[in-house]
Amino acid sequence: MSTPISVGLFVTCLVDMFRPSVGFAAVKLLEDAGCEVHVPVSQTCCGQPAWNSGDRADTREIAIEVIKAFEEFDYIVAPSGSCGGMLAKHYPELFQGDPVWHERAETFSGKVHELISFLTDVMKVERVSSKVDASATYHDSCAGLRELGINAQPRKLLASVEGLSLKEMKNSNVCCGFGGTFAVKYGDISNAIVTEKTANIEAADADMLLAGDMGCLLNMAGKLRREGKRTEVRHVAEVLAGMTDTPPIGGKRE
């Protein structure tokens, strides 16, 4: 057999800190798909907070470290459309005009994928072998949807989860109001947007809310719990990997 495909797992800072389960779910899904998973220890963050705050210099320095740590792998995979989009779409932009790093960034970015779309589009995974008895509604996180075209892929794999039924919510493709530091800098507006989102989530009448980005999940979970709504929140990878024994994000309704 040929050498297995090597995948560098870009854990993302939010998964690392808030939800290690998602990291382990990603590892399981990747290994099930036949990948050899590596987790470079020098990784921290993709640099998006600096990038979106207009701090190009710091972003570039962070990006250089990320590229150095990951460029040896066949693929770089992140359980996040937002970080995936940053690595795949914005890194080359960051080094525009730099004769050395632009090309290096281009090569690196060409190998970056978001987890779920990597499984379906690159590894040609048709189904997963997990079982979860519940109904779920899926929120399309913005960066994944619009920068990386992730829409059908998670739904396709979710459809193969035994016992799971998918209930679409209204406006699943509309922003949840997170937007990184936006949620804090413009808290009132963010609140108005997420309030509309949680109303749509509740109307979908599903047991679980799933999405592919921890930022959005923390935001929606935080609001759902504050509003005392029943929907439990998980990263889509947890369900696909059948790892739903852990308490949901933000816990359960009391």
- Which residues within the stretch 222-241 sit at the binding site for another protein (CB under 8 A)? 222-223, 225-226, 233
Residue selected from 162, 187, 203, 205 as contacting another protein according to rule CB under 8 A = 187
Between residues 51 and 108, which has the closer beta carbon with respect to another protein? 51
Residue range at the interface with another protein (CB under 8 A); choices 34-42, 102-110, 116-124, 234-242: 34-42
Query: Which among 188, 176, 253 is positioned nearest to 212, based on CA atoms?
Result: 176
Nearer to another protein, 120 or 191 (CB): 191
> For residues 63 and 116, which CB has a smaller minimum distance to another protein in the complex?
63
Distant-in-sequence, close-in-space partners of 122: CB < 8 Å, separation ≥ 6: 75, 113
Helix or strand or coil: residue 9?
Answer: strand
Q: Which residues of 201-211 are buried (b: 16+ CB within 10 A; e: fewer)?
A: bbebebbbbbb
Q: Minimal distance in Å, beta carbon 195 to another protein?
A: 8
Which 7-26 positions form the footprint of another protein (CB under 8 A)?
A: 11, 13, 15-21, 23-24
Distance CA 23, CA 238 (A): 9
Q: Give the count of residues interacting with another protein (CB under 8 A).
A: 71
Return the residues of window 198-217 that contact another protein according to CB under 8 A. none
Q: Least distance (Å) from another protein to the CB of residue 75?
A: 18
Helices within 77-186 (DSSP H only): 81-85, 91-94, 101-109, 115-117, 142, 148, 152-159, 182-185
Name the helix (H) or strand (E) containing 216.
helix 214-226
Q: Which of 104, 135, 182, 207 forms a contact with another protein (CB under 8 A)?
A: 182
Site for another protein in 39-78 (CB under 8 A): 39, 41-45, 47, 49-56, 58, 61-62, 65
Q: Does 175 bind another protein (CB under 8 A)?
A: yes
Residue from 76, 183, 241, 243 touching another protein (CB under 8 A): that is 183
| Paired tokens of 77 | 């995979």
Angle in degrees, CA 155, 157, 163, rounded to 5: 95
Which one of 71, 121, 147, 202 is in contact with another protein (CB under 8 A)? 147
How many other CB atoms are there within 10 angstroms of residue 44's CB atom? 12
| Nearest distance from C-beta of residue 179 to another protein, angstroms | 3
Residue 184 binds another protein (CB under 8 A): yes
Residues 83-112 as b or e (16 or more Cβ within 10 Å = b): bbbbbbebbbebbeeeeebbebbeebbebb
